[in-house]
Amino acid sequence: MARSALLNVMTQAAMKAGRSLIRDFGEVQNLQVSMKGPADFVSNADRKAEEVVFQELSRARPEWGFLMEERGAVEGNDPQHRWIVDPLDGTTNFLHGIPIFAVSIALERDGQIVAGVVFNPAQDELYTAERGGGAFLNDRRIRVAARQKLPESLFGTGIPFLGKPEHGRFLYELRQIMGESSGVRRMGAAALDLCYVAAGRLDGFWERDIMPWDIAAGSIILREAGGFLTGIDGERFDHMQGEIACGNELIHKTLLSELAKAEAAYRRIVAGAGK
């Protein structure tokens, strides 16, 4: 596939950061780890990968700003463009020696995501997309799966952990989906979950309380692969709103319907408990 100059810059930054992560992944037991919050770890590997991405993208487009997991917001002189970066999506997997993690880079233009790159260096898988140009895995065009029936479909999700809200609500959602589908998987890296839906490995995905750098790049890869995505209540998708539900057109609609049933059941229980 022919990539634009911008997508080449993003790809090179992601792959260079990925090489840095792989070097540290081989010595994961020796990493210096600090606590960033409950069950939310950040390592030297994370910081080094973010620095690589920051330097590479700043060199290419010095006027553009950033939204990064570790640095936060970095204002640029060009208000139209911003890079949204997660240098290590799947930090907990990484620190436990599980090879499901990724570098995620998205380009936001006037508030809309127009390009995305997600790179899993442990499996040498590079997902890329630009608006209107299709989605690719290692230069091979990808599309969402064509499955139409819930019992045949496999879903991904994010499970709230220590320090996260909505544990009770999630259990209702999980019970509803696992009772109607062929299974639910929790990979631990939302950027890759969205790419797996784009590539037809998963049929759908949902998660609440999620950060923009976790889903920005994956969202355009999924769209360009023919996927549909909204908020969990069916509202228009916004990478800044903190939730997502997605799949092919029919599975996405069915997923929203099942999640609405779970929400209704949860609210009945909460209302009953309050009496």
The binding site comprises 69, 86, 88-89, 214
**86 burial class (0-12, 13-18, 19+ CB within 10 angstroms)?**
buried
State which amino acid sits at residue 230.
Answer: T
Annotated binding site for Mg(2+): 69, 86, 88-89, 214
Reduced to 3 states (helix: H, G, I; strand: E, B; else coil), residue 158 is: coil
Structure tokens at 230: 């909204």
Q: How far apart (Å, rounded) are the C-alpha atoms in residues 160 and 144?
A: 26
Q: Partners of 236 in the beta sheet?
A: 230
User: Residues 120-125: contacts with CB within 8 Å, 24+ apart?
Assistant: 120/18, 120/192, 121/15, 121/18, 121/19, 121/21, 121/22, 121/25, 122/22, 122/25, 123/99, 125/195
Q: How far apart (Å, rounded) are the C-alpha atoms in residues 98 and 90?
A: 9
Query: Which candidate, 182, 179, 204, places its Cα nearest to that of 193?
Result: 204
State which amino acid sits at residue 15.
Answer: M
Instruction: Specify the pairing of strand 140-141 against strand 154-157.
Output: unpaired
Reduced to 3 states (helix: H, G, I; strand: E, B; else coil), residue 184 is: strand
By the 8 A CB rule, do 106 and 178 touch?
A: no
